Amino acid sequence: MLITRLSALSHTQRMAVFRLLMRRFPDALPAGEIADVLALKPSTASAYLATLTQVGLISQRREATWLRYTVNLDAARAIVGGLFQDCCQGRADLCPPSFYDLIGGISPAVDRKFNALFICTGNSARSIFAEAILRDLAPDRFDVYSAGTSPQPGLHPFALEMLVAKGHDVSTLRPKTLGEFQSPQAPRMDFIFTVCDRAANEECPTWPGQPVSAHWGMPDPAKFQGNVAERQLAFQQVYGAVHNRISAFASLPFHALDRVSLQKSVDEIGRKTSGQDH
């Protein structure tokens, strides 16, 4: 099975499908969205999805008339474990230290503050909400940053209005490019979260230090159409959803969790969609 799965991933575009679903985990994506993101013909995308499903690398489920696809994490772990056993003979001294750290399930260092980065496309609302909320909820445990893959010139006015109304200090908040956090001088991140689907869809360089990462996708309130009151409500609901996830994250017993448990915990938070106001 290891050789069969590696063969399925040896095709460049099938690997692209797998990597997209890995970046978007725990989301389950319809075939049409996968085809659109990767610029594939629908028939081509369906063929790739069928191959990956057949070897167990991804799973499908039906919702009404839609088939949605998600990564099979057990199969992904089996590939890594199989390579570790076959190529490294199970010996940590034969494998790169970073690989052994992942297998060993270590958590980030606990003798200092954690660095957390929230990423979305424009860095003008959702990721800014996350930065402000975590900074205020746990200033003694986190240094918090946010960035955009295509940052806007400034914060969205409704986002700024919401943050001020909730009592956050907005004096240091600004949209930032992702490149600010990819230089050798940038802080090394312990946690990286994408909070919009477009940012998660994009290929990003491997981050130094193998940070724990997760996708917490939520709708872009700036795209909501309606009158002023309805648009303000959309920002309020997204703020509530971000606050719920950040609160759950900040409450995790970091000192008691190994890396595998920590990853499962942040993935589970990403599955929650409550958007009640705070």
**Residue for token digits 């946690």?**
191
pLDDT of 85: 61
Please name the amino acid found at residue 218.
Answer: M
Angle, in degrees to the nearest 10, between helices 2-9 and 73-88: 110
pLDDT of 205: 62
Question: In the predicted model, what is the mean pLDDT of the chain?
Answer: 84
- Name which of 18-27, 125-134, 154-163 the model is least confident about: 18-27
* CATH value at residue 48: 1.10.10.10
- The single-letter DSSP state of residue 141 is T
pLDDT of 92: 52
* CATH value at residue 224: 3.40.50.2300
d(CA 166, CA 169): 9
Please name the amino acid found at residue 105.
Answer: G
* Cross-sheet strand order for the sheet of 58-63: 29-30, 66-71, 58-63
CB-count burial class (<10 Å; 0-12, 13-18, 19+) for 103: middle
Query: Hey, which residues are catalytic here?
Result: 120, 196, 204
Same domain, 47 and 129: no
Residue 167 backbone zone (phi > 0: left; psi -120 to 50: alpha; other: beta): left
Same domain, 130 and 267: yes
Q: How many CB atoms lie within 10 A of CB 72?
A: 18
Position 271 pLDDT exceeds 90: no
Same domain, 260 and 186: yes
Confidence of residue 203 (pLDDT cuts 50, 70, 90): low
Last residue of a domain, one of 43, 73, 103: 73
pLDDT of 119: 94
Torsion angle defined by CA atoms of residues 216, 220, 226 and 230, in that order, rounded to the nearest 10 degrees: 40
pLDDT of 276: 44
Q: What is the mean pLDDT of residues 211-217?
A: 88
Position 207 pLDDT exceeds 80: no
Same domain, 118 and 55: no
Q: What is the mean pLDDT of residues 86-96?
A: 54
Same domain, 24 and 143: no
Please name the amino acid found at residue 204.
Answer: C
pLDDT of 154: 93
d(CA 162, CA 71): 36
Same domain, 120 and 69: no
Same domain, 61 and 186: no
Q: What is the mean pLDDT of residues 213-226?
A: 89
The percent of residues above 90 in pLDDT, for the chain, comes to: 48
Last residue of a domain, one of 73, 104, 124: 73
* Residue 119 belongs to domain spanning: 114-271
Position 101 pLDDT exceeds 60: no
pTM score, whole prediction: 0.71
Our count of domains for the chain comes to: 2
